[in-house]
Structure 1
Amino acid sequence: MNPILSFELLFFAVFGQTTTDQTQIDKMTPNTTRTQPYWTEYLFKIVFGIYMLVSVVVLINLLIAMMSDTYQRIQAQSDIEWKYGLSKLIRNMHRTSTAPSPMNLVTTWFVWIVEKVR
């Protein structure tokens, strides 16, 4: 196996093509003549390789742009989310008693009795 063929196989393996049979127009059998010129196969491999390389670069740039847009939207909403979380925390702390565990039984009963007496 020559180095050019091995480079070609490794390059196209990155894109999921492990054989070069798909690049041939004419399928050669032992008793047929070749109707496709050799240079068309090489030209196709070069053009197809460039196309695959450009499409991967474009897709990676699209992914980066989408992630950047998502990050900017999350960053814009972070202040609002922080204030909402803080208000929820303050509301929950206001609803609960501040007494520690054994004493909260006494204070809870005391508050309940005071409310019933009113």
Structure 2
Amino acid sequence: MKKEKVELSGSCRILVQGVKDTQDLLCGKWKTVIIAALYNNDKFRFMDLCRHIEGISPKMLSKELKDLELNQLVKRTVLDTMPVTVEYELTPHGKSLNKIIEAMGEWGIKYRKSVL
């Protein structure tokens, strides 16, 4: 038996596409955690950020930061110091995720309390 294809309304299709676009930008285990860390601390030097995020390797942090920078969510600033120091901070686009990050954090805290 052939299943009937259900058409989504225009507004639903737009919402679903928006969710998909957001997922594509924030996919992976670490991107939202990195954004949350930067959101709550303004700027981080690379190794400070690596120490702050429990369980992430420097190699993975570097990869994720490059992706976030490419997608204009994170700004990388090289400081003229010896040795060279690099700082990371959220761009205005990255900061615009604040409601999503806060909602995820609040939901996660409530969920953890309910299952423990």
TM-score band, normalised by shorter chain: under 0.3
Q: Computing the radius of gyration over CA atoms, which structure comes out larger, 1 or 2?
A: 1
Structure number with the bigger relative contact order (C-alpha 8 A, sep ≥ 6) is 2
- Return the structure number with greater helix share: 1
Under a length normalisation based on structure 2, what TM-score does the superposition of the two structures give?
0.27
- Return the structure number with greater strand share: 2
Under a length normalisation based on structure 1, what TM-score does the superposition of the two structures give?
0.27
